[in-house]
Amino acid sequence: MSEKKTSLFEESLKPLKNAAAILKLSSDVVEVLSSHERILTVTIPVKMDNGKIKVFTGYRAQHNTARGPAKGGIRYHPSVCLDEVKSLSYWMSIKNAVVGIPYGGGKGGITCNPKELSIGELERLTRGYAARIARFIGVDKDVPAPDVNTTAQIMGWIADEYYKIMGEYLPGVITSKSLSIGGSKGRDTATGRGAYFATLEAVKALNISLKGARVSIQGFGNAAQPMAQYLHELGSKIVAVSDSTAGVYNANGINPIALIEHKNKTKSVKGFPGTKAITTEDPITLDCDILIPAALETQITLKNADKVKAKLVVEEANGPTTPEADKILHDRGVFVIPDVLANAGGVTVSYFEWVQNRMGYYWSNEEVDEKLKRVMNEAFHDVYQTYLQCKVDMRTAAYVTAVRKIVDAMSALGRI
């Protein structure tokens, strides 16, 4: 038996259809929710350091803005394509509704390998992309942010280009900026911090102790690194970690702070002292209590879902589990905190940044943390109550929670 080959976007719609059946939505409403309001494809000619012109392709998709401006990241990766951007923008609509922040879904990206570009080439590419999408983004239209392989510096270049084009200073147009240009405190660790708060609520519900819990992590970037540190501080054992190039394992636990220092120096977790080498996929199926997929999409599939040994899966990545694999995990009693809930801390603090930009008044780390904790805790319990009441898996419960809010907004506006 093998998974039927469908597009990522087609796969991403399956939980929506499950939620629609529970909510008894008409096929017309499902069709609207399955469609994007706007999809932009742009070409960006860039003068490379060797003097030649290279043309890159970029995208920006806006899924549904009934609840507010489109909101979502920009990623730079060789795999970026229209199908991926459509899926990610749709997931952002769901994610923003799950945690109750007043945004719709947006996402963008450029098909490129930023590791092959010089700083100058990267800046010219970014400014070219910003110029192409400037008319379609805005404080009350669409608010981008970083995603895979994009940084606060890249957000700064986009902001600067936008200010020049619009002729005014509008810091709320983009989030996850540097603090010096209107960024929010707490944003750099927000995705990991939000996932941590959701995990704390999940282990209470499941009666799992974090002290001594074995944690396996696939992906070791901005989301996973803070999460690893928080769990380590509570006495959990980080037994396995992989990044895009290699993996490391130690049954007695890995110190995540030392591993972060090693990765910063060598650009990889490979060769970390006191560990044995594993593949980048091995963390998914290793013996552990908590699994954190924090890499790219479709990592838990029909091929390996029956080999997952964790009791709890915390999805820091977007779309790491296919629908077929989801069913296997649920049938086996594996509790999943779905991506649209688990990794919503990042967009939540981006929302806080947008609010602070609009007010011109900025919060302390403690205020940001307290507000993030409240949002994540309330969102977890909303989804968990739906999970108990509807007797469905947590992903379906999250979609029921989100879709209900989106449909209510569309109805109130007279769009359906």
The answer, yes or no, to whether residue 2 has pLDDT greater than 60, is: no
pLDDT at 4: 52
Token reading at 357? 């930009």
Mean pLDDT value of segment 193-212 = 96
Token reading at 356? 């602070």
The answer, yes or no, to whether residue 266 has pLDDT greater than 90, is: yes
The answer, yes or no, to whether residue 196 has pLDDT greater than 60, is: yes
Mean pLDDT value of segment 85-109 = 97
Measuring CA to CA, how many Å separate 381 from each of 98, 283, 377, 378, 384? 11, 28, 6, 5, 5
Same CATH fold, 190-342 and 37-170?
yes
Which helix (H) or strand (E) is 125 found in, with range? helix 119-133
Task: Give the domain ranges of the chain.
Answer: 37-170, 190-342
Q: What does residue 127 show for φ and ψ, rounded to 5 degrees?
A: -65, -35
Question: How big is the chain by its Cα radius of gyration, in Å?
Answer: 21
Percent of the chain with pLDDT over 70: 99
Per-residue confidence band for 35, with pLDDT thresholds at 50, 70 and 90: very high
pTM for the full predicted model: 0.93
**Catalytic: 107?**
yes
Sheet harboring 276-278: ordered strands across? 276-278, 247-249, 237-242, 214-218, 290-293, 312-314, 335-337
Q: Would you say 10 and 18 are in contact if contact means Cβ atoms under 8 Å apart?
A: no
The answer, yes or no, to whether residue 1 has pLDDT greater than 50, is: no
pLDDT at 11: 85
The answer, yes or no, to whether residue 3 has pLDDT greater than 60, is: no
Active-site annotation holder among 71, 86, 107, 185: 107
The answer, yes or no, to whether residue 218 has pLDDT greater than 90, is: yes
For residues 318 and 48, the model is more confident at 48
The answer, yes or no, to whether residue 312 has pLDDT greater than 60, is: yes
Give the tens place of pLDDT for each residue, 370-411: 999 999 999 999 999 999 999 999 999 999 999 999 999 999
Residue with tokens 């507000």: 371
Q: Would you say 23 and 399 are in contact if contact means Cβ atoms under 8 Å apart?
A: no
Mean pLDDT value of segment 211-220 = 97
Task: Looking at the structure, give the CATH architecture of the domain made up of residues 37-170.
Answer: 3-Layer(aba) Sandwich (3.40)
pLDDT at 148: 86
Domain 190-342 CATH assignment equals 3.40.50.720:
yes
What is the overall mean pLDDT for the chain? 96
pLDDT at 6: 73
Per-residue confidence band for 298, with pLDDT thresholds at 50, 70 and 90: confident
What one-character DSSP code corresponds to residue 321? B
